Structure 1
Amino acid sequence: MTPPPPATTTPTTVPDQSTGGADVAALRDISRRVLWLSAAIVDAANRGRHNETGIKVGGHQASSASMVDIMVALWFHHLTDLDRVSVKPHASPVLHAINYLLGDLDPKYLTTLRAKNGLQSYPSRVKDPGTVDFSTGSVGIGATAALWAAIAHRYLASQFPGTPPAGRFVSLLGDAELDEGAIWEAVADPQVSNLGELLWVVDLNRQSLDRIVPDIQITRLQGMFAAAGWQVVVLKWGRTISELFARPGGEELRRRLEEMPNEEYQRILRVDSSEIAARLVGENDSGELRSLLDSLTAAQLSTAVRDLGGHDLGLLVDTFDGVDTHRPTVVFAYTVKGHGLPTEGHPNNHSALLTEAQMRSLAESCGVRLEDPWRTFDTGTAAAEVCDRRGQLLRRSPHTPSAPVPVPTSLGHPHRKTSSTQAALGRLLADLVRDAPEATARVVTCSPDVASSTNLGGWINKTGVWSIAERHDWFADDTDRVLRWSEVRNGQHLELGIAEVNLVSLAGELGATWSRWGQRLIPIATLYDPFVSRALEPWSYGIYAGGQSILVGTPSGVTLAPEGGAHQSITTPSIGLEQPSCVAWEPAFAQDLEWCFLHAMNQVGVPGGTSAYFRLSTRPVDPALALLPEDPALLERRRLQAVAGGYRLRAPGPAPEQITLVGVGAIMPEVVAAADALAELGIGAGVVCLTSPDLVFRSFQQRGSRTAGGGSDIIDELFPPHRPAPLVTVLDGHPHTLSYLAGARGDRIRCLGVTEFGQSSDLADAYKLHGIGTEAILDAALTLLGR
C-alpha cells in the first residue's frame, strides 16, 4: 500500500479543546504514544518473534488505530474505577497499550500478543494479564455483555444492600458489529431503555473486513437506536474542520464531503495532498469553495479532511462528560480505519501489517525509536503526570466475597408420584424456598417468555418477578389465575422477550457477579430444548468469559411428539457433552433430578466452579422403576453415583449378564421393559442408567491418564472390566452421544437414538418412528447376541 502524505499541521487557529478542563495537549501526546504502542505490540508478535511455522501471527493495527482517540478520552479523562468497559475485539492492542501506560500491565507482556500465556488475540477477562472487564472475541455478543452486566448489578443491588456500587457500563463497538442480530435483540428488550448507565460508542470507520460500509446504513442504524429509546449522539466532524465550515464556501465543502460515497472519501485520504483540492472541487467548481481551498496549504487541507469527530479529543471528552444519565446513550463517532498509519483508509488494511520501514516512520512521527519501543513518558511531563494520576484513580480494590452459601445435597422429600423431570424441577424450586432459604436467596431464574411452560410457575408465585420499576398487577384479584405475575423490585425471576440469545447472555452476567462484585448468584435459565442450538454461541461465550449458570432445556427429545419435528431436539445431548467448563445432565427420575440439580447449584458462582446444562422431559416416569434403596447408607451411595454420572439400575438376576442395556433420561421405562422381556427369554440383561453421559465420558478419558489429575472411576463401576458384555445404548437424542462406551471394555455395541426429523404423532408412534421404543431395544439386543 502506498502511504498517504503525513498530516501533522493544524490548518486553522482553532485548537483541539475541551470545555471540561481536560489537558487536551497531554491527551494528544498520550494518544500518539498509544497509537505507537498498539502498532508495536502487533509488530513484535510478527516481525519480532521467531516463527518456524511460517503461519502469520496476525493482529489488527488498522482497526486498533481508529479506536485510539476514543479510548484515550475514556481511560485518561472520563472513566472511574467503578466503570466497566467492553472493548471491540480488534482493538485489544489499544487496551493493552493503555493498561501498560497506566501501570496495570507488566512490560514483559508487550511482546507476547497471541503467544502462549501472553496477551490474548482478543480481550479476555479470565486469560489476559492486565485488566479486562469483558471478553469480546465473539463479535457483537461481547458488546452486549456490558448491557446484561448492568441489569445483573441492578438485580444484585435490589437483593443485597451491601452490594458494591457500579458506575457506567460502556461498550466500544466496531460499526460492522451492528450487523449482528444479537445487538438488536438486546437493544429491543423493554428493560434496556431504562438503563441510563449504558454508554455505547460506535467506532464508525465505515469499513468491515471485506468492504467499505455504505453511508445510508449509518442513518438507518441511528434511527433504530432512537426508536428503542436511546439518546443518539453523532460526532461526524471535529472542531477544526467545523471552523472551516463556518467560513465562506464552508457549507459547500461540508455538503461535498457528506454527499460523496465513503469509497470516494477514503480514496481522497490515499492520494498525494496536492490532489485533494481538485478532487474536492470536482465538476462543480464554485468561486467560494475554490477560494476556501486555495487559502489552505496542501498539508493543512490533508489534515482538515481527516478531522473527524472520533479523532477530536476535546470533542470526545466533552461528549462523554455530557451524556444523558437517565436513558442509554449511543455515540456514533466517525473515524478513519488506520488513522495515523501508512495504511490509513485503504480498503484492504484490516489485517495488513506495517513493514519495518513503515514502523520506523511511525516511530519518528510518534516521538519514539523502533529500537526502544516500550519507552514511557519522561518524569515531569504533563503526559506522565496524567498517566500516573489516572493509573491511581482507576486502580481497583478487590471485593470481599460474600459468605459461603450452604446448598443441601438433598431436600429429603420422597418422590412417590409419577412425575416428569420438568415437573420435578418446578417442585424442587418451590420446596427450596422453604427448605433452604439461604441458598434460595442466591437463586435467580430467567426465561424467554416460557416461564410457565417450563414449570417455573410455583417458584414465581413464591418469589415474584423482578422489575426495574414496580408495576401494578391488575389481575391480583382474579381468583381464576394460577400464575401470579407480580412485578416488584425484589422479585427473583427475570422475564425476557422471546430471544434465547438475550437469555443466556443475561445468565452469563448474573453468573459472573461473584467475581465482579463479590456477591454470589445461582442463575437458572429455562428454555425449550430445541432452541439450545440457537443460544449456543452466546452461552459458550458466557462460560468462556467466566460466567457460571445453569441452563435448563425442556422439554427435550421427541416427547413433544404432537408438535412435530420442528420441536424435537436431536443434537443437544452431544452439544452438552462437548461444551467446555460445563457439565451436561439428563436425569431419568425425579429423585435423580433433585440430587443432580442441587449438586450443580453448589458448583455455580464460586471460584473454580462450573456451569451446568440440564436436558429435561415432560414425559411422566414412575419413580418405582428407580428401585431406590431404603437403607440410608445404600441410598447415599446411589446419590453419589447419580452425581458422578450414573448407576447400575439392576443386575440381570440369577442368569449371567449376557448383554447390558444403557439408557438416558425419559427413555428408561423402555429400557427396563426391554430388560424384562429379555429375562422372559432367559437372557440376563444388566441395566445402566446414566444421569450424565458427559461425566461418564470424562471418567472414560481420565482412566489411565497421567495428566488428568485423577477423577471419577464411575466408568469402571458401570462397566466392570472383568464382566464384558455387548452394549445397547439408547437415548432420546443423537445415538453417537453414547458411542464412546464401546471403548470402555472393547464391547460390541449398537447405538439407538434419533437421527431424522420427526413428524406430529403420539409418543408411541414417535418412539417407533425413530427406533427407540421397547421393541427396537429388544431387537438390537437379540441381534447383538446372534438370536
Structure 2
Amino acid sequence: MEAALGFRGSASNGDPLCRPEVLAQVEKRVLWLATAMVHHANKVRETASGVKVGGHQASSASMATIMTTLWLEQLQSGDRVSVKPHASPVLHAINYLLGILGEEHLTTLREFGGLQSYPSRRKDPDPADYSTGSVGIGATAPLWGAIARRVTEGVTGTPSRGRQYSLVGDAELDEGAIWEAVLDPSVQSLGEIVWIVDLNRQSLDRVVPHIAAGRIHGLFEAAGWQVITVRFGRLLESLMARPGGEALRRRIIDMPNPEYQRLLRCEVDELRRRLPGEGADGEAIRALIAEVDDATLHAAIRNLGGHDIDALREAYAQIDDSRPTAIIAYTIKGYGLPTEGHPQNHSSLLTEEQFQQLADSLAEDPSVPWRRFDEGTEANELCVRAAARLRRDPVPPVSPPPVPLDLGRTPTGTGTTQAAIGRALLDLTRVAPEVARLVVTVSPDVSSSTNLAGWINKVGVWSIEERRNWFDDDGETLLHWRERPTGQHIELGIAEVNLVGLLGELGTTWSRWGQTLFPIGTIYDPFVERALEPWSFGMYAGGQSILVGTPSGVTLAPEGGAHQSIKTPSIGLEQPECVSYEPAFVVDAEWALLASMNQLGRPGGKSAYLRLSTRPIDQKLASIPDDAAARERRRRQVVAGAYVLRPEPAPDVQIVAMGALVPEALQAAARLSLQGVRAEVVCATSPGLLYEALQARRGSGDGSSWILDQVFPASKAVPQVTILDGHPHTLAFIATINSVASRNLGVSQFGQSGDVDDVYRAHGIDVDSIIRSALDLTEADAGSR
C-alpha cells in the first residue's frame, strides 16, 4: 500500500545500519559505479562510427550524496522521483546496488537497446518514474503528476499518494517554463511536492558567476513554497564555530562563485594563501586555519551541505507536508573526482590515469568494476532493506470503458467544429456516463471562448478543496465556476506549457496508477507550436492525451496575423504517436473526438490533435447518409482520413479539401461543372493517416491502406487540386498516391487582419483560385494526351 500523505520523518527510524559511515560506504560505491559506467561506454566499449558516446561524470558526482541518502533512507514505495537528466548513471548505480538492475546492463549505457542517455519511463531497462532530458520539462512533471494523482483520487474516492520529488540542476532553473509551473496557483497547496536543487553553480561552459541561492530562495518563497537551504556540512560548520569562524563564514558566502571554484583546484599551501582574502576578515581567517591540519582544511573547503549526510538528514526532517518544499543543496560539480570543480568538467571524461586515480582513492579495482557489497556486510543489508521498502506491486492491466463510436446526431443547421467538442462532451454525460466521468478537460483561461461552458457547468472545476461560487445566484452569469475535488475541468491560467505538461501526466495515470483518464486540452491553435515540445515529450514518456487547437488558420481573419496558424497541420502530420484530424463538419469532429478517445489509456494507444475552426458552415453540406450502414461507412472513412463528398463517376479533376475550406471546394466544383469540367470533391480529415496508409501500401509501414482504395482508386487517377487553411505541403503528397499532376493551395505567408473573403483571396485559397488551378491542370492534361 502506498504511503498516505502526512508528516513523516526519516525512513531510518533509528536503524543502526543507517549510520553515516555505512551510508558513506554506499555513497562511495554509487560514485564509483556511476563514473565507471560512463568510462566503460567511452573508453572500453568499441564503437564503429567513431562518434563520441558522451556522459556526465561530473554532473553525476554532484548528486551522489543526495541520491544515496534519498533512496537508502527517505523514499517510500508510494513516492516518485524525477531525476535530473545528467544524473542517470547515479540512478542506475543505486538500482544496481538494490538488486533492481542486472549487471549485464551496466556496460550498455547509451548503447542501442541499453541504458538510455537520460532516464526514460518507456525506453530504459532501468525503471524510471519520470522521463527527463528536455530542460525544465522533467523537473516540472512531478507537479502535474501530483495533480493527476489527486484527480484519480476524486474518481476512485480512495486517497493514496506519496511525495513527488524533483532533482534539479541549478542551471536548469534558467528555463522559464520552470517558473511558469512553480508560480501556478494550483501548485501552492501540493504538500507532496519536494524539489532538491543541486546548486553546483556550473553550466555546460563555465562557472556561472551570478547564480545565488538567495535569489533562488526568494523566487520559491514568493511562490508560497517552504525553502530549506543546506549550505555547509558538519565539518565546515565545526570550523565556523571556532574563534574567527564567523569571518570564515562571511568570506565563503560573499566570495564570487568562480573564486570559490578556483579554491578547489589549489594545493593546500595555495589554499591557505588564497582563502583569507584581502578584506578586513583576513587576519581572523588566517589565525583560524593556521590551527587546522592540511587534511582537515582540504576536506573542509569541500564540505558543502549537499555532500554531508547529516546536513541532508536535517533538511529532510524539516519538510512541511502542507505546502511544496524546495531544498537548495550546495554541491561541487565533480565532487570526489580528479576533475572536481574544474570550470569545463560538465561533459569532460576522466582519462585512464584519472580513472585509476579515482579507483585508488575509493579502493576499487578497474578490472572488476561492477562489485556489489558482500553478503553479511552492513552496507549490503542496508541496500537489501531499502529495496524491500521501495518494492512496488505491478500496476494491474487497465481496461478503459469503451467509448461510443457515434452519438447519433445529424446536425442540419449552421455550426462550427469548435462548438462540436463541448456539445459532444455534454452528450457523453447522457449516452455514456461511465466514460464521461473519466474525462478531464484542461484549458489556459479560454474555457468560454472554446465552448466548454456547458460542460464545465455540468461537471464542475477541479480544486484541492471545495470553494464557494459567489456568482451562483447571479442570473446573468452563464459559466458557473463550481470548484471541488471531484471537478473535471482544470484551469491553468495563460500558460500553454503548463497545460500540455498536465495533459501528459493525466495521460499516464493508466500506466502509473492503474486508473484511466481521458484528458482533453483546448488551446488557441497558433499557440500549439509554443506548447509542442513539452506535449511531444509527454508522448515520449507515455502520456496519451487529446489536444484541441482552435480557432485555426487565416480563417480567423479579423484577429490578425499573430493569431493565424500556418504550420500546425504539418505538425499533426509529423508528430510521432499522435493522430491528427482537421474536420470540416460538426459530425466529423464528433466522430474524430470519439475515435481519439478510444485510443487513450491503453498499451499501444496514441494521442490526438484536433485542429478546429470557428467558421460557421452549413451542416447540410456534409450530406450524411440516412441509411445506418452507409452512415457507419462514412464514419469509418472520416476517422481513417478522408471521404468522397461530391462524387463523380469519371472526374476530370479531383479537389481535395480540408477543414474550413471545404465549402470553397464545393462551390468551385459546382462552377466548374457549368464549364463542362467534372470535379470530384474529397474531404480530407487526417493527412497523417493518409500518409501512413500510403507508406503501408509501399511496404514501409504495417498499417492498412484500404482508405486509399476507396477514396483514391486508380480508376480516378486524375489531376488534383489540394487546398487547406495551412501550409500547402501538408496535402502535397496525396498526388503521389496515383502519380498525378497537382496544384497545392494553402497559406505560406504570415497573415493579416481583414474580412475572410479578402484574406482568402490574398493567400490564393478562394473559390476563383481553385477554379483557375483546376482549369490549368485539366487543360494541361488534355494537351498531353
> Shorter-chain-normalised TM-score: which range?
over 0.9
CA deviation vs aligned residue, 1:579-613 (integer Å, no higher than 9, x gap): 10000110111111111110100111111110000
Counterpart position of 2:185: 190
Task: Identify the match of residue 72 of structure 2 among 73, 76, 85.
Answer: 76
Equivalent in 655, 659, 667 of residue 661 of structure 2 = 667
Post-superposition offset of 1:248: 0.7
SS at match of 1:203: strand
Report the alpha carbon displacement of residue 624 of structure 1 after superposing the two structures with TM: 1.6
Q: Within 5 A, what are the aligned runs for 1:55-66? A: 55-66=51-62
In structure 1, C-alpha distance between the alignment counterparts of 2:659 and 2:473, rounded to whole Å: 40
Aligned to 2:600: 604
1:323 and 1:503 map into 2 onto residues whose CA distance is 28
Query: Once the 2 structures are TM-superposed, how far is the Cα of residue 291 of structure 1 from its aligned partner?
Result: 2.4
Give the number of equivalent residue pairs. 766
Structure 1 CA distance, aligned partners of 2:297 and 2:46?
42
Distance, in Å, in 2 between the alignment partners of 1:162 and 1:150 is: 15
2:47 counterpart SS class: coil
Contact 2:305 2:329 in 1 (8 A): yes
Choose the corresponding residue for 1:372, options 368, 377, 402.
368
- Residue 326 of structure 1 and its aligned partner are, at CA, apart by 0.6
Distance 2:243 2:703 in 1: 79
Change (3 A) 1:20 1:177: farther
Instruction: Report the alpha carbon displacement of residue 404 of structure 1 after superposing the two structures with TM.
Output: 3.2
1:633 Cα deviation (Å)?
A: 1.4
C-alpha contact 1:753 1:772 (8 A) present in aligned 2:
yes
* CA shift for structure 1 position 286: 4.7
| Pairing 1:368-767 to 2, within 5 Å after superposition | 368-652=364-648, 656-705=650-699, 708-767=701-760
Cα distance in 1, alignment partners of residues 251 and 212 from structure 2: 19
Give 3-state SS (helix, strand or coil) of 1:113's partner. coil
**Which one-letter code corresponds to 2:717 in the other structure?**
P
Residues in 2 aligned to 1:260 and 1:184: alpha-carbon distance in whole angstroms: 27
- Structure 2 CA distance, aligned partners of 1:563 and 1:404? 40
1:307 aligns with 2:303: yes
In structure 2, distance between residues paired with 1:77 and 1:54: 42
Helix, strand or coil for the counterpart of 1:494? strand
Deviation at 1:667, TM superposition (A): 0.6
Is 1:25 equivalent to 2:21 in the alignment?
Answer: yes
5+ long unaligned stretches in structure 2: 1-11, 781-785
Q: 1:143 matched to which residue of 2?
A: 139
- Describe the superposition over 1:525-572 as per-residue Cα deviations: whole angstroms up to 9, x where unpaired: 001101000101111111111000000000111122111111100000
Q: Does the CA contact (< 8 Å) of 1:74 and 1:317 recur in 2?
A: no
> Aligned partners of 2:707, 2:725: CA distance in 1, in Å?
22
Question: In terms of mean alpha carbon deviation, does 506-515 or 484-493 score higher?
Answer: 484-493
Q: Is the 8 A contact 2:410 2:624 kept in 1?
A: no
* Cα separation, partners in 2 of 1:441 and 1:286, compared to 1, 3 Å: closer
CA distance in 2, matches of 1:429, 1:379: 59
Aligned residue for 1:786, secondary structure, equals helix
Alpha-carbon separation, structure 1, partners of 2:705 and 2:213? 55
What is the CA-CA distance between 1:403 and the residue it aligns to?
Answer: 4.6
Counterpart mapping for 1:204-283 below 5 A: 204-215=199-210, 217-283=212-278
Q: What SS class does the counterpart of residue 339 from structure 1 fall into?
A: coil
Q: 1:72 to 1:336 in 2, by over 3 A?
A: same
The Cα shift of 1:402 comes to 4.8
Q: Deviations over 1:279-335 (max 9, x none)?
A: 112334754322221111222211100000000012112311331111100010000
Q: Within the alignment, does 1:99 sit opposite 2:99 as a pair? A: no
TM-score (norm 1): 0.96
Letter matched to residue 497 of structure 1: G
What is the Cα deviation at residue 401 of structure 1? 4.2
**Counterpart residue identity of residue 393, structure 2:** S
Distance 2:216 2:572 in 1: 36
Percent identical among aligned pairs is 58
Instruction: Please say if residues 721 and 745 of structure 1, whose CA atoms lie closer than 8 Å, have aligned partners that are also in contact.
Output: yes
1:374 aligns to what SS in structure 2?
coil
Matched, 1:202 2:197: yes
Return the TM-score normalized by structure 2: 0.96
Deviations 1:249-306 (A, max 9, x none): 1111111111111111111101212211111123347543222211112222111000
Q: Distance in 1 between matches of 2:733 and 2:398?
A: 41
Contact 2:276 2:283 in 1 (8 A): no
What CA distance in whole angstroms lies between the structure 1 residues aligned with 2:402 and 2:505?
Answer: 22
C-alpha distance in structure 1 between counterparts of 2:652 and 2:182, whole Å: 59
The alpha carbon displacement at 1:704 in A equals 2.6
Does 2:773 correspond to 1:771?
Answer: no
**1:26 is aligned with what amino acid?**
V
8 A contact 1:20–1:318 mirrored in 2: no
Give the 3 Å change call, closer, same or farther, for CA 162–259 of structure 1 in structure 2: closer
Task: Determine the C-alpha separation between the residues in 1 that align with 2:772 and 2:340.
Answer: 69
Describe the shift of the 1:482–1:299 C-alpha distance in structure 2 as closer, same or farther (beyond 3 A). Answer: same
Partner of 2:8: none
- 1:29 deviates by 0.3
Gaps of 5+ in 1: 1-17
In structure 1, what is the Cα distance between the partners aligned to 2:581 and 2:14? 56
* Whole-angstrom distance in 1 between the partners of 2:375 and 2:291: 41
Name the aligned partner's letter for residue 560 of structure 2: G
| Distance (whole Å) between structure 1 residues aligned to residue 135 and residue 408 of structure 2 | 46
Q: Is the 8 A contact 1:703 1:713 kept in 2?
A: no
